[in-house]
Structures are given as structure tokens and as C-alpha cells.
């Protein structure tokens, strides 16, 4: 087999997807259950691990384990029926939206998780809109069907009305929310019945029974489920692969991730419906074929994963060609060579050396000090992929080292957090290098930053919130005018962008009247990428 044919065959086996949801919809629990059903782990952990029950593999930061929320994205890879699944878990909290959007730029499909009781929530709507902008197909999972919730037909109506996408159920729950018996299996016309296991730590029991046996065991619940499902299929709400890939329809499944109910069905849906990796489009609008020369895109940088060495890991999505450990690639931003001697596959916090990877795979490049989020690496034919968006921050605070004797560690920590995208770092001559301004989408980012400064870099810090509410990109010519005004100042982001901060929208308007037209521009404009 030629190299191109091998790459094409390996790419066809890949499915790279993200799990997205509003906080507390069960995303990390579902991620853990998927790994369990794929036999990648022997026992499912709990978001709040108690006693002998371990925590989930995707939530590895101390703060994640303590609070039971996902703060940073995580990568997991496992194989199901010869299909290689690259699963990227994402933060659900709105304060970490920027990390989630970076992950969505690196996947080919998304699994959108809804709480059966709450339906569509604000963060779910934002994340779905991000998928719509990118044309990313979405599989919907209605989770927590083991708890009281809404009627299934009402949930489907909400999806169609609020998202403007047609839900096409690929199974249907038997039993109301809170009394989950199993699901209708459309392929057989029968039922898959679930049986609980202690604590949901191991695979749930699954039994396939025909329609007559389902009617005997479940009586009116089975009859109602069949009637509802037939109503939907007769109205044309059946799965169609073409409309799904075009992001006009969304397959819908029902599950109770904490009990491992319906998880095997979701794995089957991902392996059979999610698309394999396709060509990536470069900054010139040209597609890079998957079987072309190697190219990769850095969508995440993370430090602190290896506490013993404090190394820096760049997460690179392979876009085309075959990656080979030890190969020398070119860093598109600088034109310099990049050695790939230390390349690893990542499973939560656990890592092992990887020798080769194909389009769709995520490779961890160790001690990649020269790489930043949004960078392109390539071999042979030069290519640069579009940068990732930088979001307009809404919260600002000055940060200083509590102990000036730890200034070196403090500066190193601030640099790492900025490069990872945990926060944006703004500086000015007026404030000095020891008093940078942290800019964030949400205040919890400040908590993560100060926690990591203390625990990873041994540099306790002091935060002083600033009274700014508006941020705009500005020009160098406008700096003296803005800096001379009360309630405003200009700082420089580490990528060279000049950021003007204002106390409120009214103050910004009065100052803008003294500036030439075009002096204030949105921070998420074309120079930063378009944020949905």
C-alpha cells in the first residue's frame, strides 16, 4: 500500500468529536461512560470521587476534582470496532468558553448533551451556535432520563423551535423520565432493556427483547413509546445522513450516563454517523487534502500536567498526512524547524509515547516552548491555517506577586497562563511588568489563574479588580488621547494588539467623539478571528 493510500485508509477509521453542554448536564460523566464502554478504562469514576471510587479521567486539575466542574479541555483516544475515536472533553462553564471554542475548531462532530429536566440552557445555545457557524454536525443526547424531567416530545419541539434544526430520534425511551426502562431499537423493532449496576461504576446490563416480550414486560409504557416514535417517523423525522452532515438535522438519543444507560447506543451512533476527517482550509481558502503532505494545528497548550517536571504540552490536531515521531517539521509562524522527538498520545492526564498519527488524531508535543495556540506545523508544502478567535474580555484585574522575592516565578507563571489562553495578559509602561492586567471572559478564570500561580509556580499573588466594563481594539495614534482621559487607559496584549479599556459604554462614547473615525474597533474583529 502506498503512503497516500495508507493515510486515506487510516483517516477513514478516525472520528474526532467533542462533548459540549451547559454546566451540570453530565458531560464529564458521559465522557467517562464512553471510555468505559469502549473498554478504555475498567471502571467509571465519579465527578466527586468518594471512598474507593476514583475521579473521572478527564477532570485532572485539582480545582476540577475539588469543585466537580470541568475547567480545562481534555483529550481521550480509544478504539471501538476498528474505529479510532478521538474524544475531546470541554469545559461547560461559560467563563471558559474560549477553551471550548478552541476545541470545537479541532473536531469534525459534536455531541450536544441536554439535561432532561432543563432542556436547552444558555451555554448550550451558545455552543450550538458555534457549531452552526463552523458547519459542524451535532448529535444530541438527552441525558439524566433516570430522573424526573420533561416529556420527550416537548424536548424535541424545543430543539426544533429554538435551534432551527430538525431532531431525528434514532431511539426512543421506554418509561417516563425518572423511570428509564430502556429504548426502542428501530433496527429490530424491539427493545434494548437496561439493568442497573451498583453505583454505575461498571457496564449496565443490556438485554435485547422483541416487541411482544417488551409489550408483556412493560405494557402501557411500551405502547406509549411505540406510538410516539411512530408519530415522529411518519412525519419524516427519521435520520438522514446527508442532512445530518449538512448540519440541518440532529440525531437524538436518550441516556442516563451516571447509570451507563444508553451509552453503548451513543458509541454506535458516533462510529457510524460522525464523519471522518476531511480537508482543512488554509488562510488562502485552499483545502489541504488529508492524504497530502503532513500538516497540524495547535489548538491548546497546557502546563502542569506532569507535576514532576512541569513540562509544557502543545495539543496538535493532525490535519493531513502521517505524523512520524522524530520528524522535523516547519513552524509556519517563524519558518524555523521544529523537532518532534518527544511526542505523546494523551488520555486525560496519562500519556505515552506515540510513534505515528493520522488526520483527526491529537498529538501531545512535549516541551514545545516555541508553540502557541493557533500555530501551524507542516512538512514539505507550506501551509498556514486560520488563527483561532480571541474573545473580547469583560473582566479586568491587576495581578501582583504577594512576595517580591518570587518575582521570577510569578513572571514565568503569567507567561505560561497567557500562552495557554487561561487569561489574556495586558501590559503598559505606566503599570510596569510586575503589575500586568489580567483580562477574562468570566471571573472564574481569575480563580484558576491565581490558584495555578500558587500551586504550580509557587508564586502567591494579589488581585485588584479594575473598574472597566468595555474593551476595544485601538490604534497607536489614538493612545495619547485615550490615556489622557479619566476612566480609560490603553494596554498592549502580548500579541501586539492595543486594547483600550473604558469604565462604561457612555464614557467610551464621549472619548470616541474626540478620536478619528476607526480608532475603536471590536476586539473580536477580523484581526482576531470571528468569535460566534
Among residues 430, 435, 316, which one has the least CA distance to residue 371? 316
Residue-level pLDDT at 318: 97
The answer to whether the annotation marks 93 as part of a ligand binding site is yes
Is residue 259 within 8 Å of 196, Cβ to Cβ?
A: yes
pTM of the model: 0.82
How would you list the strands of the sheet with 14-21, edge to edge?
Answer: 74-80, 83-89, 14-21, 109-115, 138-143, 249-254, 166-169
Q: 265-281: string of b/e by CB count within 10 Å (b at 16+)? A: bbbbbbbebbbbbeebe
CATH number belonging to the domain at 280-378, selected among 3.40.640.10, 2.40.30.10, 3.20.20.70, 3.30.230.10: 2.40.30.10
Distance CA 63, CA 76 (A): 20
- What angle (nearest 5°) sits at the alpha carbon of residue 421, between those of residues 416 and 422? 80
Among residues 130, 139, 109, which one has the least CA distance to residue 17? 109
Antiparallel, parallel or unpaired: β 328-331 and 376-378: antiparallel
The answer to whether the annotation marks 375 as part of a ligand binding site is no
**Beta-strand runs (E) in 60-122:** 74-80, 83-89, 109-115
Please say whether the dihedral angle defined by the alpha carbons of residues 374, 378, 384 and 385, taken in this order, is positive or negative.
negative
CATH 3.40.50.300 boundaries in the chain: 3-273
Residue-level pLDDT at 38: 76
Cβ-based burial of 184 (10 A; exposed 0-12, middle 13-18, buried ≥19):
buried
Distance CA 18, CA 243 (A): 20
**Beta-strand runs (E) in 170-244:** 172-174, 182-185, 190-195, 205-209
Return the C-alpha cell found at 195: 439493568
Q: How many CB atoms lie within 10 A of CB 482?
A: 24
CATH 2.40.30.10 boundaries in the chain: 280-378
Is residue 369 within 8 Å of 312, Cβ to Cβ?
A: yes
Query: What 3-state DSSP class applies to 426?
Result: strand
Could you tell me which CATH number the domain at 3-273 has?
3.40.50.300
Q: What is the 3-state secondary structure (H, E, C) of 437-496?
A: EEEECCCHHHHHHHHHHHHHHCCCEEEEECCCCEEEEECHHHHHHHHCCCCEEEEEECCC
Could you tell me which CATH number the domain at 395-521 has?
3.30.70.3280
The answer to whether the annotation marks 90 as part of a ligand binding site is yes
Distance CA 323, CA 314 (A): 15
Return the C-alpha cell found at 145: 432520563
Residue-level pLDDT at 393: 86
Q: How far is CA 453 from the centre of its chain?
A: 24
Residue stretches of the chain with pLDDT short of 70: 1, 39-74, 91-97, 199-200, 304-310, 347-349, 524-532
pLDDT tens, residue by residue, 151-206? 999 999 999 999 999 999 999 999 999 999 999 999 999 999 999 887 667 788 89
State how far the alpha carbon of 376 is from the alpha carbons of 16, 290, 336, 411, in Å: 19, 15, 12, 26
The answer to whether the annotation marks 89 as part of a ligand binding site is yes
Return the C-alpha cell found at 51: 471512598
Distance CA 38, CA 270 (A): 12
At what angle are helices 263-273 and 27-37 packed, to 10 degrees?
80
Amino acid at each position: 500500500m502506498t503512503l497516500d493510500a495508507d493515510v486515506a485508509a487510516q483517516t477513514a477509521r478516525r472520528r474526532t468529536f467533542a462533548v459540549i453542554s451547559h454546566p451540570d448536564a453530565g458531560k464529564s460523566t458521559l465522557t467517562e461512560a464512553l471510555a468505559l464502554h469502549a473498554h478504555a478504562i475498567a471502571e467509571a469514576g465519579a465527578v466527586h470521587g468518594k471512598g474507593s471510587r476514583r475521579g473521572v479521567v478527564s477532570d485532572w486539575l485539582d480545582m476540577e476534582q475539588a469543585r466537580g466542574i470541568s475547567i480545562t479541555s481534555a483529550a481521550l483516544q480509544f478504539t471501538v470496532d476498528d474505529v479510532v475515536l478521538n474524544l475531546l472533553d470541554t469545559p461547560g462553564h461559560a467563563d471558559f468558553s474560549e477553551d471550548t471554542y478552541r476545541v470545537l475548531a479541532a473536531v469534525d462532530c459534536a455531541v450536544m448533551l441536554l439535561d432532561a429536566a432543563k432542556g436547552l440552557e444558555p451555554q448550550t445555545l451558545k455552543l450550538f451556535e458555534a457549531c452552526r457557524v463552523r458547519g459542524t454536525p451535532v448529535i444530541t443526547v438527552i441525558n439524566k432520563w433516570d430522573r424526573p424531567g420533561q416529556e420527550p416530545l416537548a424536548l424535541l419541539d424545543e430543539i426544533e423551535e429554538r435551534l432551527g434544526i430538525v431532531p431525528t430520534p434514532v431511539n426512543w425511551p421506554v418509561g417516563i423520565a425518572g423511570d428509564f426502562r430502556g429504548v426502542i431499537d428501530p433496527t429490530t423493532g424491539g427493545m434494548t432493556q437496561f439493568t442497573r449496576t451498583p453505583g454505575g461504576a461498571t457496564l449496565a446490563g443490556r438485554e435485547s427483547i422483541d416487541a411482544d416480550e417488551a409489550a408483556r414486560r412493560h405494557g402501557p409504557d411500551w405502547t406509549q413509546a411505540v406510538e410516539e416514535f411512530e408519530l415522529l417517523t411518519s412525519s419524516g423525522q427519521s435520520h438522514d445522513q446527508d442532512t445530518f452532515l449538512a448540519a440541518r438535522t440532529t440525531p437524538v438519543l436518550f441516556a442516563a450516563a451516571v447509570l451507563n444507560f444508553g451509552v453503548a447506543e451513543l458509541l454506535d451512533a458516533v462510529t457510524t454517523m460522525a464523519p471522518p476527517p476531511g480537508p482543512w482550509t488554509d488562510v488562502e481558502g485552499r483545502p489541504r487534502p488529508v492524504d497530502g503532505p503532513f500538516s497540524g494545528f495547535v489548538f491548546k497548550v497546557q502546563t502542569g500536567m506532569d507535576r514532576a517536571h512541569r513540562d509544557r504540552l502543545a495539543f496538535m490536531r493532525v490535519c493531513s498526512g502521517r505524523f512520524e515521531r522524530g520528524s522535523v517539521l516547519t513552524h509556519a509562524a517563524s519558518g524555523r524547524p521544529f523537532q518532534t522527538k518527544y511526542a505523546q498520545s494523551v488520555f486525560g492526564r496519562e500519556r505515552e509515547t506515540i510513534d505515528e498519527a493520522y488526520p483527526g488524531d491529537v498529538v501531545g508535543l512535549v516541551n514545545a516552548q516555541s508553540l502557541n495556540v493557533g500555530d501551524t506545523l507542516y512538512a514539505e508544502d507550506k501551509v498556514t491555517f486560520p488563527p483561532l478567535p480571541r474573545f473580547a474580555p469583560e473582566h479586568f484585574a491587576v495581578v501582583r506577586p504577594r512576595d517580591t522575592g518570587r518575582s521570577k516565578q510569578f513572571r514565568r507563571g503569567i507567561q505560561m497562563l497567557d500562552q495557554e489562553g487561561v487569561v489574556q495578559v495586558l501590559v503598559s509602561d505606566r503599570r510596569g511588568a510586575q503589575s500586568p492586567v489580567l483580562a477574562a471572559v468570566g471571573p472564574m478564570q481569575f480563580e484558576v489563574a491565581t490558584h495555578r500561580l500558587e500551586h504550580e509556580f509557587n508564586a502567591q499573588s494579589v488581585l485588584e479588580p479594575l473598574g472597566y466594563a468595555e474593551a476595544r481594539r485601538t490604534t497607536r495614534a489614538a493612545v495619547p488621547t485615550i490615556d489622557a482621559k479619566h476612566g480609560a487607559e490603553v494596554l498592549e496584549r502580548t500579541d501586539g494588539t492595543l486594547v483600550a479599556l473604558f469604565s462604561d459604554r457612555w464614557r467610551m462614547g464621549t472619548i470616541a467623539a474626540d478620536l478619528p473615525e476607526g480608532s475603536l474597533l471590536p476586539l473580536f474583529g477580523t484581526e482576531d478571528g470571528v468569535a460566534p
